[in-house]
Amino acid sequence: MSVHLQREIDRLKRHLVSLCALAEEQVQSAVRALMDRDAELARQVEKRDVEIDQHEVEVEEECLKVLALYQPVASDLRLLVSALKINNDLERIGDLAVNIARKAATFASFPPMEIPFDLAGMWQKTQAMLHDSVDALVNLNPLLASKVCGRDNEVDGMKHEFRQKAETMMQQDPSLVPVLLTLLAVSRNLERVADHATNIAEDVIYMVEGRIIRHGTGDPL
């Protein structure tokens, strides 16, 4: 690898990590807005989404520039292809944070009530997956990435559990339907964040080992 290509790739990695941090912060703020019934914080999350969009465009432009100028092959090409996909996942996580923030603002408008689901615990699991997928990316650690993929079912299970409990509660007290649907929407968005964290981890495995595991295959390319 040429010195110039290495420099461009290092810069690209730094930008991706910066975008990861911003996306994680956005979801964390959106969840906090829900827990604290803080409509103003929810609005701030919406406003900051433009920063993620700008970062996403910049990273994509960097990837395309490197592809055009250096025509990388093998592991360098896999890195750039993976970076483009990870970049898209991070932008989608930013969108999901906005969705959660909007639901948080709606929740704040309802009469006070204790949240009947462990949404904080769901976020902790999701946040850990996102953090570890980024760590796997920074350190090019396919083993850690594999562990992230293995934890996605835990978050899926929590979402299913919340839905079952909500359905029972809505049958018992139809007046709770609007607020419970709002909270279920938050759980669906958190589950989608976990899905995108899994996508990032899968792309790290492809980046390092050339294996595509998304559809159950694992043979090196």
- Could you tell me the CATH number of the domain that includes residue 26? 1.20.58.220
Domain annotation covers residue 221: no
Residue 210 has pLDDT above 90, yes or no: no
CA 145 to CA 205: how far, in whole Å?
7
Higher pLDDT, 43 or 5: 43
Domain annotation covers residue 73: yes
Residue type at position 78 = R
Band (221; pLDDT cuts 50, 70, 90): very low
Domain annotation covers residue 78: yes
Tell me how far the alpha carbon of residue 12 is from its chain's centroid: 19
Residue type at position 162 = F
Measure Cα distances from 138 to 1, 72, 124 in Å.
19, 20, 21
Domain annotation covers residue 125: yes
Query: Per residue in 61-83, pLDDT tens?
Result: 999 999 999 988 888 899 899 99
Helical pair 119-139 and 152-172, crossing angle rounded to 10 deg: 160
Best CA proximity match to 20, nearest among 96, 124, 123, 90 = 90
Residue 162 has pLDDT above 50, yes or no: yes
What mean pLDDT comes out for the span 120-134?
Answer: 93
Measure Cα distances from 45 to 28, 97, 111 in Å.
10, 7, 23
Phi and psi for 140 in degrees, rounded to 5? 50, 55
Tokens of 169: 């509660």
Domain annotation covers residue 61: yes
Domain annotation covers residue 217: no
Best CA proximity match to 129, nearest among 148, 112, 145 = 148
Tell me how far the alpha carbon of residue 197 is from its chain's centroid: 5
What mean pLDDT comes out for the span 204-220?
Answer: 75
Tokens of 49: 């989404």
Query: Per residue in 13-59, pLDDT tens?
Result: 889 989 999 999 999 999 999 999 999 999 999 999 999 999 999 99
Domain annotation covers residue 218: no
The pLDDT value given to residue 4: 87
Tokens of 181: 């649907």
CA 194 to CA 93: how far, in whole Å?
9
Residue 1 has pLDDT above 90, yes or no: no
Q: Which residues contact 150 (CB under 8 A, 6 or more apart)?
A: none
CA 87 to CA 15: how far, in whole Å?
10
- Domain span holding position 14: 3-209
The count of structural domains within the chain is 1
